[in-house]
Structure 1
Amino acid sequence: MSENDAAEAVRQWRAAAPGAVLLDGFHALKHALRFNAEVSGAITSDTAALLELAGDLAPDVTGRIAELVTEVPLETLRELVPRLHPTRVAALAVRPGRRANTETLAALPRRSPIVVLDNPRNLGNVGAVVRLAAGFGATGVITTGDIDPWHPNAVRAGAGLHYATAVERLPSDGLPPGPLHVLDPEGDDIRSVPVPDGALLVFGSERHGVSPELRERADRLLSLPMRPQVSSYNLATSVAMALFHWGGPAAAPGP
C-alpha cells in the first residue's frame, strides 16, 4: 500500500468513527464478515501477518479481508485504536438498524428464547452474553437501562457476534411478547421446568438482581442449582446454564 492509500484510510476512519461500530481484533472482524456486517474498512500494521492468520483460522473470509484492509504505521494504528488488540487489526462496520432488530425480536412464533439483561453494569459481561446467545442460536439479547450493548467494550467481548443475533436496548415496559421467565434465587429449580422457545429469559444486574417491576410481571421464577454458601454465579455463566437447559436447535455444521 502506498502512503496515499494509508492517508486516505486514516481520513475515512476518522470521518466514519463517530457513528460506526468498532470491530477490535481479528475475531471480531471475522465474525462480522461471516454474518454479513457492512464493513466499511479495516486497518492493520502488518497485512502479511493478518492474511496469514486469516488463512489459518478463517479461509472463508480471507479474500474479503484482503479487499478491505489497508496497512498503516503501528503508531497510527495505536492512535486510532488506543486499546489495540494483539492481532493488530481493527475495522469499522455499520450498526444494524434499531427497527430491524426490534422487528426480529418481536416476531412470533419464535424458535428460540430471547435473553434479557435487566440493567447490566459490566460491558464485558454483556459481550460475553451476546457471544453465548449467538452460539446457542437465541433469537437475541435485550438490555434495559443506560448501558449501550453496542459499546466497543461489549463488541470486543462479544468477538463481533453482535452481528449473529439481534442485540438491542429497550425499556423494560417495551419488551417483546412472550412468557417472562425470570431467574431468581427463590424460583423453581430450572431443571424441573421446561423453557419454551418463545420465552424471555430475564437476568438481573450483577449487583442488584432483577428489578421489582420485572419480577412482579414474571410468568415464572426460576433458580439455578447452587451449592449452599455459594452466593452467586457470574452473569454469563448463569445465561449459559439457562440456555443449555433450554437445549437449543440442532446446530448446523459451519466454519
Structure 2
Amino acid sequence: MSEQGIGEGARAWREWAGSDRAVVLDGFHALKHALRFGAEVLVAVADDPGAVRALADELAPDVAPEVERLVRPAALAELLPRVHPTGVAALAVRPDRAAGRAALARRPRTAPVVLLDNPRNLGNVGAVVRLAAGFGATGVLTRGDLDPWHPNVVRAGAGLHYATTVDRTELDELPPGPLYALDPEGEDIRALTLPDDALLAFGSERHGISPELRARADHLVSLPMRPQVSSYNLATSVAMTLFHWGGPAPAH
C-alpha cells in the first residue's frame, strides 16, 4: 500500500466527515447492510482494501462490486477513535428526514412503528433498530435527548438504519395509529392481537414509560414475566413484542 494511496483515502474521508449529514458506518457489516438498503455511501476506507474485497466476495457477493468501487486505502487509526476488527469504515449520507416522516404517516401501514421513550443506552437503541429491520417494522422513533443516529447506535445497529425509518420525535409529532404502551400493569400481551398500524411504545428498564406517554396510550400491555424478575432488557422487550405481532409461523 503506497503512502500516496493512503493519503488519498484519508483526504476523501476528511472531506466528507465534516458534513452534518455524514453517518459513520463502522465495520464491514454496517457497510454491507447500508449498501443493500440503498444508502448513498460517500467513501469507504480500509487498512487493507484487498482483505475487505475478499470479505465482500465471501460474505456479501451481492454488494461486492460496490465495495470494490468504493474502498480506498487509509490508516484507520488516524481517522477513527477505534478500528473495527473487520478493518473498514465508511461514510454515508443520512436519509432525508421528510421522506422518512412521510413513510411513517402513510396509511394503511403494514407493520408497526417502535417508539422508545427516553432511552438511555446507545447500544440498546442500536439493537432495537436491528430488530425492527429484521421484523420489517415501519420505523423506530425515540423521545428524549438521545440521538438515534449517534455513531454508537449505528454501530450497534450494524448499518440497518437504512432498512427502516429512524428518527427522533415528540408526542405531538407521533404518526397516526393506536398507541400500545408496555407497562407492568397492562393487559397480558398473549390475550391481544396487535394491529399492523400500531405504535409500540417502550420505556427504559429503570423508569418505564413516562407519565405523559402513559396518559396518551390507547392500550397498556404487559409481557409475561416470572415473579421476582424485575425487568427485561429493552431490546428483549421489543423482540418479544414484535414476535407476538408477527404471529405464528405459516404452516408448511
**Does residue 149 of the first structure (1) align with residue 151 of the second (2)?**
no
- Residue 23 (structure 1) aligned to one of 22, 25, 38: 25
**1:125-204 equivalences in 2 (<5 Å):** 125-204=124-203
Distance (whole Å) between structure 1 residues aligned to residue 214 and residue 45 of structure 2 = 46
Distance (whole Å) between structure 2 residues aligned to residue 242 and residue 46 of structure 1 = 42
8-17 or 110-119: which moved more? Answer: 8-17
1:9 is displaced (CA, Å) by 2.1
Alignment check: 8 A CA contact 2:205 2:232 kept: no
Distance (whole Å) between structure 1 residues aligned to residue 85 and residue 129 of structure 2 = 22
Q: Would the alpha carbon gap of residues 71 and 248 (structure 1) be closer, same or farther in structure 2, given more than 3 Å must change?
A: farther
What residue number does 1:11 align with?
11
What residue number does 1:63 align with?
65
The one-letter code matched in structure 1 to 2:3 is: E
The share of aligned pairs that are identical, in percent, is 69
What residue number does 1:242 align with?
241
1:249 is displaced (CA, Å) by 11
- Gap runs ≥5 in structure 1: none
The one-letter code matched in structure 1 to 2:23 is: V
Distance (whole Å) between structure 1 residues aligned to residue 248 and residue 176 of structure 2 = 21
The one-letter code matched in structure 2 to 1:71 is: P
Q: Would the alpha carbon gap of residues 183 and 139 (structure 1) be closer, same or farther in structure 2, given more than 3 Å must change?
A: same
Alignment check: 8 A CA contact 1:137 1:249 kept: no
1:4 is displaced (CA, Å) by 3.1
Q: Would the alpha carbon gap of residues 46 and 148 (structure 1) be closer, same or farther in structure 2, given more than 3 Å must change?
A: same
1:132 is displaced (CA, Å) by 0.2
What residue number does 1:83 align with?
82
1:12 is displaced (CA, Å) by 2.1
1:107 is displaced (CA, Å) by 1.1
Distance (whole Å) between structure 1 residues aligned to residue 172 and residue 247 of structure 2 = 27
1:207 is displaced (CA, Å) by 2.1
Q: Which secondary structure does the structure 2 equivalent of 1:12 belong to?
A: helix
1:70 is displaced (CA, Å) by 0.5
Alignment check: 8 A CA contact 1:112 1:248 kept: no
Alignment check: 8 A CA contact 1:42 1:92 kept: yes
Distance (whole Å) between structure 1 residues aligned to residue 56 and residue 248 of structure 2 = 29
Q: Would the alpha carbon gap of residues 81 and 68 (structure 1) be closer, same or farther in structure 2, given more than 3 Å must change?
A: same
**What CA deviation, in whole Å up to 9, does each residue of 1:2-36 have, x standing for no partner?**
53343222122112113210000000000000001
The one-letter code matched in structure 1 to 2:64 is: T
1:181 is displaced (CA, Å) by 0.2
Distance (whole Å) between structure 2 residues aligned to residue 138 and residue 249 of structure 1 = 17
With normalisation by structure 2, the TM-score equals: 0.95
Distance (whole Å) between structure 1 residues aligned to residue 52 and residue 207 of structure 2 = 42
**What CA deviation, in whole Å up to 9, does each residue of 1:23-63 have, x standing for no partner?**
00000000000001000010001122111111111011111
**Does residue 51 of the first structure (1) align with residue 53 of the second (2)?**
yes
Distance (whole Å) between structure 1 residues aligned to residue 93 and residue 2 of structure 2 = 26
Distance (whole Å) between structure 2 residues aligned to residue 214 and residue 141 of structure 1 = 16
Alignment check: 8 A CA contact 2:124 2:234 kept: yes
1:193 is displaced (CA, Å) by 0.5
204-213 or 134-143: which moved more? Answer: 204-213
What residue number does 2:104 align with?
105
**What CA deviation, in whole Å up to 9, does each residue of 1:155-214 have, x standing for no partner?**
000000000000000112211111000000000000100000000000002321111011
What residue number does 1:116 align with?
115
Distance (whole Å) between structure 2 residues aligned to residue 32 and residue 56 of structure 1 = 17
Q: Which secondary structure does the structure 1 equivalent of 2:201 belong to?
A: strand
Alignment check: 8 A CA contact 1:121 1:206 kept: no
Distance (whole Å) between structure 2 residues aligned to residue 46 and residue 207 of structure 1 = 43
